[in-house]
A and B are shown apart, each in its own frame.
Chain A
Amino acid sequence: MITRLFSFRGGVKPDAHKSESAHAPIAMAPMPERLIVPLRQSTRATARCIVQVGDLVLKGQRIGEPEGTLGTAVHAPTSGKVIEFGLHPLAHPSDLNTRCVVIEPDGADRWIERQVFDYHTASREQALAQLRDCGIVGLGGATFPSHVKLGRGTGIETLILNGAECEPWITCDDRLMRERARDILAGASILRDLIGARRLVIGIEDNKPEAIAAMQAAASNIDGETSVVAVPSLYPAGGEKQLIRVLTGIEIPYGKLGAEFGVQCFNVGTAHAVYRALAHGEPLLSRIVTLTGNVARAGNYEVLIGTPISHLLTLCGPKPDTDRTLMGGPMMGFALPRLDVPVVKGTNCIISASPALFPPPLPEQPCIRCGECARACPAELQPFELYWFSRAHNFGKAQEYNLFDCIECGCCSYVCPSHIPLVDYYRFAKSEIWAREREKSAADQARDRFEFRNFRQEREKEEKAAKLAAKAAETRAKLGDTPAPSTAAKADEDPKKALIAAALARAKAQKEAVQPRNTDQLSADTEAEIAEIDARRIKASLEDPAASGNPPSPDRSPESTP
């Protein structure tokens, strides 16, 4: 079937360098001496360790429990002994540490008993839970949990499988498609059912004819509308939004998800992992990694998660003039700060870099506003404007010019005749904006806390007063001085006065308790005088003597005054 192709603007055509490793069939990487399995295997989520040092684990045994909505389970890639649980550096430009379980393989590679999962009868929720428990994340590099992506709804029109692999040097998806097309298609078929898609489109760059042929052959075996489409080789055709644009014409703006536009996109490796998880109950324990660049033997290996990069490099044999090791492709990858870091689920390629293959950038020259970057930008931004704004710390203006639509593909830096590291400026501006937003939200939180504290203090004060008023009322009740319902209501309004009233009542009661003793010794004259005074007081207070059964009292409680 013929699919009409669309195009995205911009893009560049760097030397593909696929031939170095594309011919090499996937080989199993030998078992390393120890596996360092990070518990952080998906974006923004770290699993909770459920094994202890000294435990014996089996291949596929769960060692990390998923936590949070973005969490996925982590498994032992082989059988062996847990020899350490602690912080290890992660393959990341920051060189930061993360919690890792270190396993010493026993060499037997003994599987845990795999639970057969029948995805034909399972509900959608059960299937998604199975994917989470099998640690399935996007293998294109972003490692976004697949069950979360799939959970974004059903009734999505189109499922896209991303086999573009547009970055130079990388061939892991190419080999996977050539060798395991049937499993990929089976996985795609499951994914299609899970999101209820009507059609399946597989996009592969036209520089991989063998992969296209293999996928086409496999596609003829599955039901439903399926097309394998050769897309023009133009970096970054494998960017999710770019591929969706090329295959469907739909443009997904920044901050929006494909699901909202009736399309979802998964990497071919992810589809393969989904198939293994749902049809065979196999958690994601390994992935295909391309080892290439300035090496003696470039190749593609199936590598256990947790295998140290340094161990892998012994397989390909970097040449003596290698000065750096890149993870990912040369356009968006990064130079590894150290080589004892483990392979993770997003590791698609390790490139040994030499100054000859990846020459150091030429000195930066002034921007001449030639607009070459704007012509190369697949997000259709004006990169040089963003550069001027970022350079001037004019971050508001940079955001106004859609800084956050930048996908950091590197096309602008690639073409810049002034050799300006443009992407670095955008990364800088973005992180500055994030930092400021964090600061602002921290300030907002502090203000909220302060305002709440004031509110709380005020509330406590009122509560205390109300309590006292209630106590006062109680006291009054004890004294038999039952205030009218209306006065009680007033007491609530004015607790302080109630408090005073209560104190006065107490004082009076005391006084009364004492008085009789005093009056015992009084003469009749004096008694008469007292009675007269009392009567005057009562009169003055306009208190109805009938209202109180007690002897005339000087209690001029405020609530009783009109």
Chain B
Amino acid sequence: MIHSPYIRKPASVQRVMFNVLLALVPGIAAYVWQIGAGILVNIAIATLTAVAAEVIMLSLRKRPVMLAATDLSAVVTAWLVALAFPPIVPWWLTVLAVLVAIVAVKHLYGGLGQNPFNPAMAAYCTMIVAYPALMSQWPAAGTVDFATQLHLILGGARELDAVTGATALDALRTGLRANGSVATLLQSNTYGAVGGRGWEWIAAGYLLGGLFLLASRTITWHLPTGFLVGLGVTSGIFWLIHPEQFASPLFHLASGGAMLAAFFIVTDPVSGATTPRGKLIFAAGVGLIAYLIRAFGAYPEGIAFGVLLMNICVPLIDMKTQPAVFGHRGGRQP
């Protein structure tokens, strides 16, 4: 027997996931415009792998396949994997990463809603540890044409120096290690107005999509704000102390995966904190760890590690930040 309520808002997991995919479109468009269409090939490879892996895992787990395979959650994971990876990684790396995300991180933990770790970020961390060289080859804007990108994706031979510029974060890091100063380094060809040349447009695209997610109430303001404040304030402190050694907060916010992370990565509801205060703490923690790794760690980008580390803390954060319920608050009486 069906119980009340007898009416439902027209909402579904598909709708939520579709909104996320839709919000990624401006960023992807900027990507194609600035870097090249190779990313579309990667997205296609990742999507096909993800859906296939989802179907296989669901049937192995004897779960209703159609309903879960069409909920678009695997597609979101696939797109995030593709967007977080360099656009010229060979196809098998993408396939492997997506398999890690879907099979190991998602389904081995119980499928949608059960995974304690962000699948895309877990896949990123696995791959950067396993294939550090391939994961560090980021083409600068306009340096690699589509034919070359396709050639590389399909596993063609790599003449590393010819194809890779370094990312803004990478170049800065290497430059600083070689005793350069931030001001002089940022004048090089790698950089645009605020971040990596070309990449700052992509970041703007993600920001636009993120605003759509906020407007459509798919995400709340807490997570992006927490992350951006966490990253911005930490980098700001170091920048104020020693501007020659540390790049400005604006640079950090516009570089690497900061915007993608702020609106699409830390906002993963399944593996993130859920209470309003918890969301702020969780996202700020990711921002803080990301900055520390960027500035002092062994990797140019630290968001993925930040996310995984904070994923571990989620049960504690949620438990300790339970909001007061109606009438138990005290002090809200007039």
Contact = CB atoms under 8 A, between A and B. Distances in A.
A250 B332 CA distance: 8
B298 interface: no
B111 interface: yes
Tier of interface size on chain B: 35 or more
A350 to B, nearest CB: 13
Contacts of B114: 366
B5 A413 contact: yes
Given A12-B9, A335-B2, A368 B329 contact: no
Nearest to B334: A249
B2 A360 contact: yes
Interface string B55-82: 0000000001001100101000000000
B58 to A, nearest CB: 12
Contacts, number: 149
Interface of A: 6, 8-9, 12, 14-15, 93, 168, 241, 245, 248-254, 256, 261, 326, 328, 330-335, 353, 358-363, 365-372, 374-375, 378-382, 384-385, 401-402, 405, 410, 413-419, 421, 423-424, 427
Nearest to A363: B67
A253 B6 contact: no
Given A250-B333, A365-B13, A256 B327 contact: yes
18 contacts: A12-B9, A168-B7, A245-B326, A256-B327, A330-B4, A331-B6, A334-B3, A335-B2, A366-B68, A401-B322, A405-B328, A414-B8, A416-B8, A418-B12, A418-B113, A421-B2, A423-B3, A427-B3
B3 A421 contact: yes
A368 B326 contact: no
B15 interface: yes
Contact of B326 (A372, A379, A414, A421): A379
B324 to A, nearest CB: 7
Contact of A365 (B5, B71, B270, B322): B71
B113 A241 contact: no
Interface of B: 1-9, 11-13, 15-16, 64, 67-68, 71, 73, 111-114, 220, 269-270, 272, 274-275, 318, 322-329, 332-334
A333 B8 CA distance: 14
Contacts of A261: 333
B325 A402 contact: yes
A322 to B, nearest CB: 13
Contacts of A415: 9, 11
B270 A369 contact: yes
A366 B7 contact: no
Contacts of A360: 2
B274 A419 contact: no
Nearest to B219: A370
B269 A369 contact: yes
B327 A252 contact: yes
Contacts of A375: 220
B325 A371 contact: no
B16 A417 contact: yes
Given A331-B5, A374-B274, A418-B13, 5 more contacts: A6-B334, A331-B4, A331-B6, A334-B3, A371-B269
B4 A332 contact: yes
B327 A251 contact: yes
A541 to B, nearest CB: 79
